[in-house]
Amino acid sequence: MTEPRRSPEELLARIREEEARAGRGRLKVFFGANPGVGKTFAMLEEARARRFEGMDVVVGVVETHGRGETAALLVNLEVLPRREVPYRGVTFHEFDLDAALARKPTLVLVDELAHTNAPGSRHEKRWQDVEELLAAGISVYTTLNVQHLESLNDVVAQITGIQVRETIPDNVFDAADEVELADLTPDDLLTRLRQGKVYFAEQAERAREQFFRKGNLIALRELALRRVAERVDAQMRGYMVEHGIRETWPVGERLLVCVGANPESARLVRAGQRIAATLRCEWIALHVETPGTASLTHADRAALVENLQLADEFGARTVTLQGRNIAEEVLAYARANNVTRIVVGKPTRQRWVAWVLGSLVDRLVRGSGDVDVYVISGEVEDRPRRRPAPRPPRSPLWEYGFALGIVTIATGIGWLIFRQLSLTDVAMVYLLGAVVVASWTGRGPSLLAALLSIALFDFLFVTPIFRFAVADLRYLLTFGTMLAVALLISGFTLRIREQAEMARERERRTATLYALSRDLADTRNRREIVEVARRHLAETFSSTMQLLAPDEVGNLQVLEPVAADPALDDKEKSVADWVYRRGELAGVGTQTLPGARAMHLPLIGTAGPVGVLMVRSPDISRFELPAQRHLLETFAGLVGGALERVTLAERTQQARLEVEAERLRTSLLSSLSHDLRTPLGVITGAASSLRDRGDQMSPAARVELLDSVLQESDRMNRLIRNLLEMIRVETGSLEVQKEWQPLEDAVGVALLRLDEQMKDHPVTVALPPDLPLVPLDAVLMEEVFINLLENAAKYTPAGTPVEITAQPIPGAVQVTVADRGPGLPPGEESRIFEKFYRAPDAEPGKGVGLGLTICRGIITAHGGRIWAEPRPGGGTQFHFTLPLSGPAPPPIPVEPVEPLEPEAA
Question: Which residue, 567 or 818, has its beta carbon nearer to another protein?
Answer: 818
Output the CA–CA distances (angstroms, integers) from residue 344 to 255, 269, 372, 727, in the order listed. Answer: 11, 10, 11, 80
Interface with another protein (CB under 8 A), residue from 742, 808, 863, 883: 742
Helices 699-731 and 626-693: angle between axes, nearest 10 degrees: 160
Q: Min. distance of Cβ 852 from another protein in angstroms?
A: 20
Minimum gap (Å) between residue 800 Cβ and another protein: 18
Q: Measured from the CB of residue 797, what is the shortest distance to another protein in angstroms?
A: 22
For the CB of residue 680, give the shortest distance to another protein in the complex, in Å. 14
Is the CB of 220 or the CB of 802 nearer to another protein?
Answer: 802
> Is position 885 an interface residue for another protein (rule: CB under 8 A)?
no
Q: Which stretch binds another protein (CB under 8 A): 313-321, 522-530, 716-724, 873-881?
A: 716-724
Answer yes or no whether residue 3 interacts with another protein by CB under 8 A: no
- How would you class 12 by CB atoms within 10 Å of its CB: exposed for 0-12, middle for 13-18, buried for 19 or more? exposed
Beta bridge partners of 809: 812
**Residues 365, 690, 767, 839: which binds another protein (CB under 8 A)?**
767
By CB under 8 A, residue 898 contacts another protein = yes
393, 396, 768, 889: which one contacts another protein (CB under 8 A)? Answer: 889
756 scored as a contact of another protein (CB under 8 A): no
Which one of 201, 397, 465, 752 is in contact with another protein (CB under 8 A)? 752
Using CB under 8 A as the binding rule, whether residue 886 contacts another protein is answered as no
The secondary structure of 239-272 as a DSSP string is HHHHTTPPPSS----EEEEE--SSTTHHHHHHHH
Among 112, 782, 790, 819, binds another protein (CB under 8 A): 782
Largest CA distance in the chain: 157
618 contacts another protein (rule: CB under 8 A): no
Q: Taking CB under 8 A as the rule, does residue 777 contact another protein?
A: yes
Regarding 790 and contact with another protein (CB under 8 A), the answer is no
Question: At residue 67, what is the residue type?
Answer: R
Out of 713, 805, 860, 877, point to the residue binding another protein (CB under 8 A). Answer: 713
Q: Which of 49, 251, 299, 779 binds another protein (CB under 8 A)?
A: 779
- Ordered DSSP codes for 159-184: HHS------B-HHHHHT-SEEEEE--
Residues that contact another protein, how many (by CB under 8 A): 38
| Whole-number Å distance between alpha carbons of 618 and 303 | 21
What is the distance between the alpha carbons of residues 261 and 293, in angstroms, rounded to a whole number?
Answer: 8
Closer residue to another protein, CB minimum distance, 619 or 895:
895
Considering the complex, state which of residue 136 and residue 763 has its C-beta at the smaller distance from another protein: 763
Q: Which residue number, 250 or 890, has a Cβ lying nearer to another protein?
A: 890
The verdict on 778 binding another protein (CB under 8 A) reads yes
Per CB under 8 A, the list member of 348, 671, 741, 816 interacting with another protein is: 741
Task: For residue 612, give the 3-state DSSP assignment.
Answer: strand
Order of strands, sheet of 178-182, starting from the edge strand that comes earlier in the sequence:
78-79, 57-61, 107-110, 139-145, 27-32, 178-182
**CA gap 177, 140 in Å, rounded:** 10
Reduced to 3 DSSP states, what percent helix, strand and coil does the chain have, rounded to the nearest 5? 50, 15, 30
737 interacts with another protein by CB under 8 A: yes
Chain-centre distance for alpha carbon 369: 44
For another protein, which is the closer residue by CB, 196 or 899? Answer: 899
Q: Is 451 near another protein (CB under 8 A)?
A: no
Q: How far is CA 815 from the centre of its chain?
A: 55
**Nearer to another protein among residue 89 and residue 891 (C-beta):** 891
Binding segment (CB under 8 A) for another protein, from list 417-425, 559-567, 745-753, 860-868: 745-753
What SS3 string covers 635-657? HHHHHHHHHHHHHHHHHHHHHHH
- In order of 36, 127, 270, 528, 894, the CA distances from 148 in angstroms are 15, 12, 14, 49, 102
State the binding string over 836-875 for another protein (x if CB under 8 A, else -).
Answer: ----------------------------------------
User: Does residue 721 interact with another protein by CB under 8 A?
Assistant: yes
- Show contacts of 196-205: CB within 8 Å, 24+ apart: 197/36, 197/67, 198/35, 198/36, 199/35, 199/36, 199/63, 199/65, 199/66, 199/67, 200/35, 200/36, 201/65, 202/164, 203/162
Query: Rounded to the nearest 5°, which phi and psi values hold at 255?
Result: -110, 140
Of 119 and 886, nearer to another protein (C-beta) is 886
Can you name the residues that pair with 805 across neighbouring β-strands? 766, 816
The CA distance from 281 to 270, in Å, is: 15
Of 105-113, 464-472, 490-498, 761-769, the window that binds another protein (rule: CB under 8 A) is 761-769
How many alpha carbons fall within 13 Å on the CB side of residue 242?
10
903 lies in the binding site for another protein (CB under 8 A) = yes
Q: Which of 220, 24, 51 is nearest to 131 (CA)?
A: 24
- Which of 749, 801, 805, 867 forms a contact with another protein (CB under 8 A)? 749
Interaxial angle between packed helices 778-795 and 851-861, expressed in degrees from 0 to 180 and rounded to the nearest 10? 150
Of 247-255, 465-473, 505-513, 739-747, the window that binds another protein (rule: CB under 8 A) is 739-747
Using CA atoms, how far residue 683 sits from 171, 675, 680, 707, 744, in Å, is 84, 13, 5, 10, 37
Of 659 and 727, which CB lies nearer to another protein in the complex structure?
A: 727
Closest to another protein by CB, 240 or 706: 706
Contact predicate 56/105, CB 8 Å: yes
Q: Helix or strand or coil: residue 818?
A: strand
| Binding flag, residue 901, another protein (CB under 8 A) | yes
User: Nearer to another protein by C-beta: 189 or 806?
Assistant: 806
Q: Find the binder of another protein among 763, 800, 822, 836 (CB under 8 A).
A: 763
Q: How far is CA 606 from CA 103, 123, 576, 641, in A?
A: 32, 27, 20, 8
CB of 878 to another protein, least distance (A): 18
Should residue 463 be labelled a site residue for another protein when binding is judged by CB under 8 A? no
Closest CB 815 distance from another protein, rounded Å: 13
Is residue 400 within the footprint of another protein (CB under 8 A)?
no
CB distance 580 to 554 below 8 Å:
no
For another protein, the closer of residues 162 and 778 by Cβ is: 778
Residue whose CB is less far from another protein, 156 or 776: 776
Out of 740, 795, 836, 867, the only residue in the binding site for another protein (CB under 8 A) is: 740
Among positions 747, 789, 824, 850, the unique one binding another protein when judged by CB under 8 A: 747
| Residue 416 or 710 having the CB closest to another protein | 710
Helix H or strand E segment including 222: helix 214-242
Q: Does 902 bind another protein (CB under 8 A)?
A: yes
- Choices 119-127, 379-387, 735-743, 829-837; region in contact with another protein by CB under 8 A: 735-743
Question: What is the distance, to the nearest Å, from the Cα of residue 577 to the centroid of all Cα atoms in its chain?
Answer: 11
Residue 869 DSSP label:
E
Which listed range, 194-202, 417-425, 591-599, 746-754, lies at the site for another protein (CB under 8 A)? 746-754
Cβ distance to another protein smaller for residue 152 or 813: 813
CA distances from 601 to 130, 196, 517, 535, 542 (A): 22, 49, 18, 17, 17
Using CB atoms within 10 A of its CB, is residue 228 exposed (0-12), middle (13-18) or buried (19+)? middle
Interface with another protein (CB under 8 A): 710, 713, 717, 721, 724, 737, 739-742, 744-749, 751-752, 763, 765, 767, 773, 777-779, 782, 889-890, 892, 895, 897-904
